[in-house]
Chains A and B, each alone.
Chain A
Amino acid sequence: MTDSKLKKITVALAGNPNSGKTSVFNMLTGASHHVANYPGTTVETVQGTCTHGDFRIVFVDLPGAYGLTAFSAEELVARNFIIDEKPDIVVNVIDTSNIERNLYLTTQLIELGVPLVLAFNMSDVAEQRGIVFDTARLSELLEAPIVPTVASKTKGRIALLDAIVAVANASRKPRTHRITYSDEIENTLNQIEPLVRSEQPALAVKYGSHWVALKLIEQDSDIIAKIKDSRLIDVVSDAVAKLKTIFRDDPEVIIAERRYGFISGACQESVKTTVELTHTTSDLADAVLTHRVFGLPIFLLMMYLVFYLTFSIAAYPMAWLEQFFGWLSSSLAFIWPAHAGSWMRSLTIDGVIPGVGGVLVFLPNILILFLAIAILEDSGYMARAAFIMDKLMHKIGLHGKSFIPMLIGFGCSVPAIMATRILENKRNRLTTIMILPLMSCGARLTIYGLLIPAFFPKNWRGPVLWLIYLTGIVLAVIAAKVLRLTVFRGDTTDFVMELPPYRVPTFKSLSTHTWMRCLMYLKKAGTIILAFSIILWAAMNYPRVSDQSVAGLSSDQIRQAQLANSVVGRVGQAIEPAIKPLGFDWKIGTALIGATAAKELFVSQLGIIYAVSSHDDSSATTLRQHLQADYSPLVGFCIMLFCLISSPCLATVAITRSETSSWFWAAFQFVSLTVLAYIITFAVYQIGSLIMAL
């Protein structure tokens, strides 16, 4: 690197959700982003760099947080990053039009004692609202430089970088004043601080004894967990109990009140509002968009638009991609003679190319979906959408926003699981991910499309399809409720959400968000999907049938013999006794295993098993005739039911693994859904058979 002479500094960006923190980050770093995980967590961080003066500055975008408590995962991540990674400077992005609430985080950063630079973002909005700042005075009170910015219009970039460099060059001096609390709390602090220093010297050095003492009085679970010394804990709990009786409230509420007191004191001296504040445009928009009658239809229309764009528009590039990879396979098959290194050829043509294609084919979906989500989020509508759906979703223990991924799930589980990123709460997010495969995806429609006409008369077809979809939804609702009462139990469904003012999203922010998501998908899920495809290819092609045994057979018959002889075929035959109570035989078993790669493969797998050539248009009709001859409509229904509920496809497993950063949840989802499918199909088949026998 040529810039080895540059001094490197790390700057963390902290700020409330909706403060425009990400815009500031984009403004500072341009396009130089890369994604990493926060040390020791699965939370992703975006980093970017920029060179200014003699400095190479690395910016780390911390999760949006209102404070630095241990109650929220995001806040804890932000706090631990600041404490553990010791960034040289923290830039606190503040929505200037909403200053008092935004400064609450600032008070906590001040208490952490980090070198601060305050970016007063959206200063144009504040100006329009007639808010005037005495920045010099406010900067003096908060002991940090203040730089006004309008990140969406790239205003204030140089000034902010200058301020960062100036703070980095300056020698660190201790703050001249800190927030003082009421006498009772100060006395308690004075009592606990020396104890922290003597009993927990390591903590005192790392966090500062004052801060540890304050957090102990606030009953901060993360800090309390770090203290092994029972004497200190006893002293603290006595002190907290005493404070509780004095204030008739928890000390942390009193402390928070004092912080807000400090803020309003500082603002009284330095912030003047010349115009009476009105939310006019936003209020007007809310009157319509969250209207008790029109709100829901508007929301459903918006969702329909998102769904339509994601799957209808994306269908074209998806078809091109599929065609391209099909063309690639077939032209390679043409150029590459069959005898030359047979397995390499098969691996490339039947394994790698379709595997890479299988990864890329989702990209148009993901790109459009995340563009749509970025527009919904940046414009401020997402918060309203959550608000509108919350009443309904709350009943099944989910957040209002869970509705969006669930809807996307009808198209495809892969982008839907990625869409759960809009859920901040981990338990809500995991519950939503777990139940998402029950939303019957587009790939499964091809299975219904084959089976329903094979087994049901014309006027039954619609209702049967409807029944399948409805079964999925009902099961998802029940599963969500059960999960929230068992595995993901917790008092987290209280709905508290800021409704940010409506804003016009900027092109830069939209493109950055969308690009990051696509990259993340390719990097994290893409590799797993590819690996799975190749493993499944091997399982379907090995062991090979000997050339003598298939001599004289047609190519369709050879494929049939090969599949029956392969690992997948053998497993299909081996599990026949287990799936017999569901009405399935080894043929269905084999097709089901083959379909774990992608649900729509079930159809082509059955085609191979019945030695129906997949190249002509009449193949579906021929296949239906075979199925009609072999199975009853009840079995046909059971197959659909099993395909609906059971083992999500490998792409879903891969995306669940990458989004939860845990093989455990991916396996949990796979196994529990398959078990559920077994139980339900078993019950339906057995009861159905009894009724039929009557």
Chain B
Amino acid sequence: METTITRPLSQVAEGQTVNIIRIDGGRGLRVRLTTMGLLPNTQVTVIHNGRSGPFVISVKNSKMALGRGVVDKIMVS
């Protein structure tokens, strides 16, 4: 179905806008992300992707910082 490959958000370069495909990980994390607006079929823009430490994205007009452990679990394309 997808033409572009699915990869974790952590591998997206700064400035790129991608679409969330699914979120792996525990229910607690998924519900939390979902409530905050990070759910499948949502566009997110990577604002800051340092090699380590938290990661900044823009989603639905707000900025969010995500830990490394989290961005590895968000699958995008």
Contact = CB atoms under 8 A, between A and B. Distances in A.
Interface of A: 66-67, 69, 71-72, 75, 97-101, 104, 219, 249-250, 252-253, 256-257, 260, 277, 279, 282-283, 286, 290, 292, 383, 386-387, 390-391, 394, 491-501
A71 B61 contact: no
B68 to A, nearest CB: 8
A282 B64 CA distance: 13
A379 B37 CA distance: 23
Given A71-B31, A253-B30, A498 B67 contact: no
B7 interface: no
A72 B32 contact: yes
A256 B58 CA distance: 19
Contacts, number: 124
A387 B35 contact: no
A383 B41 CA distance: 27
Nearest to A68: B35
Given A282-B63, A501-B63, 8 more contacts: A249-B40, A277-B61, A279-B58, A286-B47, A387-B53, A391-B54, A495-B66, A496-B36
A576 B74 CA distance: 60
A-B pairs with lowest CB-CB distance, top 8:
A495-B67, A67-B35, A391-B53, A499-B63, A256-B34, A66-B35, A101-B37, A387-B65
B55 to A, nearest CB: 9
B29 interface: yes
A491 B28 contact: yes
Interface of B: 22-23, 25-37, 39-42, 47-48, 50, 52-54, 56, 58-70
Nearest to B25: A494
A290 B56 contact: yes
Contact of A253 (B39, B47, B54, B60): B39
Contact of B61 (A75, A100, A491): A100
Contact of A256 (B39, B56, B60, B70): B39
Nearest to A386: B65
A496 B32 contact: yes
B62 to A, nearest CB: 5
23 contacts: A97-B61, A98-B60, A99-B61, A100-B60, A101-B36, A101-B61, A104-B37, A252-B30, A252-B31, A256-B34, A277-B61, A283-B47, A286-B48, A286-B56, A286-B63, A387-B54, A387-B56, A390-B54, A391-B53, A391-B54, A497-B64, A498-B36, A498-B63
